[in-house]
Homo-oligomer: A and B are copies of this chain.
Amino acid sequence: MAGGLVRSDAQQNRDRVLVAARAEFTAHGPAASLNKIAQRAGVGPGTLYRHFPNAQALLVAIIAEDVAVLCATGRELLGHPDPARALRDWLRAVAVHATAMRGLVATESLEAAGSALAGCHDEIRAVAAALLERAGAGDDVDDVLAVVNAVAWASERLPDSPGRLDRLLELVTRGLPKPSW
């Protein structure tokens, strides 16, 4: 943390705004009110707008936080004793992330934020490539990520069925190297 053990006031305000924004976007979608977010975070609207000029900047920051957590998990899994299991576990986390992200924002606003999120995609891609290589899978990393994302999308759209996402993931990853347990 820059400057020592205590997060700066600015950093603390930014964190509080992000927590509040996550709650408001989850409840109201991309149309959530920025003023309500500021209120919920206990900061003035000016403080919010200084950090995040618009709703899209907030959404991008939330997604970037999620991707950072996802990728940290993936890098830890690079030390897992069963590389094929590590790969499968992480691909499942990617599918869950893809669904959560689509739940948070409308596709339209995400696509407009394309370039801001390109860095997130590159980070996910790099972790996926490392896990695939360690598991000895010869598949193209973009193909594998496309399939995982597609399966997440399909299980969102289909009628609720317990365990469907896991069944679909099992089906599409059955051709990857096998876990030893």
Binding site for B on A (CB under 8 A): 139-140, 142-144, 146-147, 149-151, 153-155, 158, 164, 167-168, 171-175
Contacts and interface: CB of A to CB of B under 8 A. Distances in A.
Q: How many copies does the complex hold?
A: 2
A168 to B, nearest CB: 6
A162 to B, nearest CB: 13
Given A149-B154, A150-B153, A144 B171 contact: yes
A5 to B, nearest CB: 45
B143 A168 contact: yes
A139 to B, nearest CB: 6
Contacts of A172: 147, 171-172, 175
B143 A164 contact: yes
21 contacts: A142-B158, A143-B167, A143-B168, A143-B171, A146-B155, A146-B158, A146-B164, A147-B150, A147-B154, A147-B172, A150-B150, A150-B151, A150-B154, A153-B153, A153-B154, A171-B175, A172-B172, A172-B175, A173-B175, A174-B174, A174-B175
A147 B175 contact: no
A154 B172 CA distance: 14
A35 to B, nearest CB: 32
A151 to B, nearest CB: 6
Contacts of A155: 146
A153 B98 CA distance: 15
B175 A139 contact: no
Q: Which of A150, A164, A168 has the most CB of B within 10 A?
A: A150
